[in-house]
Structure 1
Amino acid sequence: MLQAPIEEYEDAIVVPPINANNFELKQTLINLVQSNQFTGRQDPHNHLRFFNKVTSTFRHPEVSNTTIKLLLFPFSLEGEAR
């Protein structure tokens, strides 16, 4: 399989600064995301549908949904997919 070199590269997911007071990702939300981790062998479309459904249930008035997704997405990956 062809892969791009990853040495000397930063993480591909960059989360923008969060300037919200009292913002916290609850452990139950992280656990829910981790309950359907993508390893690279499953259907990626199903994984993303589940991920979008879960992340759409969490809202914070001072944090965009995109930022929440960027924070949570690494928790949805496992093994080589990470």
Structure 2
Amino acid sequence: MRKSRSIDVSPATSFAPVAGVLAAFFILGEIQTHSQFIDGAILMIGLAICLYAIYLQHEKNVTIHDSLSEDEVAPMLNAECRAGFKYV
């Protein structure tokens, strides 16, 4: 995960609350409220949109950094690492 960009890790971290609620339901037998179902649905819709956008990006074989040179990309990736999004 250290070498992953935050945009790649974001969909996985967005699913964590939904996974926690599902685990509580199946393992502990907790009953969810209507607001938790609505919140989970909103998160899942957002996650689906995010994954669809990533799919379209890979389908077109275009990445964010395609128009940038290697010298322009390196400082951005270093800044992202210093920002603390890498679970370091």
Scaled by the length of structure 1, the TM-score of the pair is 0.31
Scaled by the length of structure 2, the TM-score of the pair is 0.29
Larger radius of gyration: 2
Say which structure, 1 or 2, has more relative contact order (CA 8 Å, 6+ apart).
Answer: 2
Task: Select the structure that is richer in helix.
Answer: 2
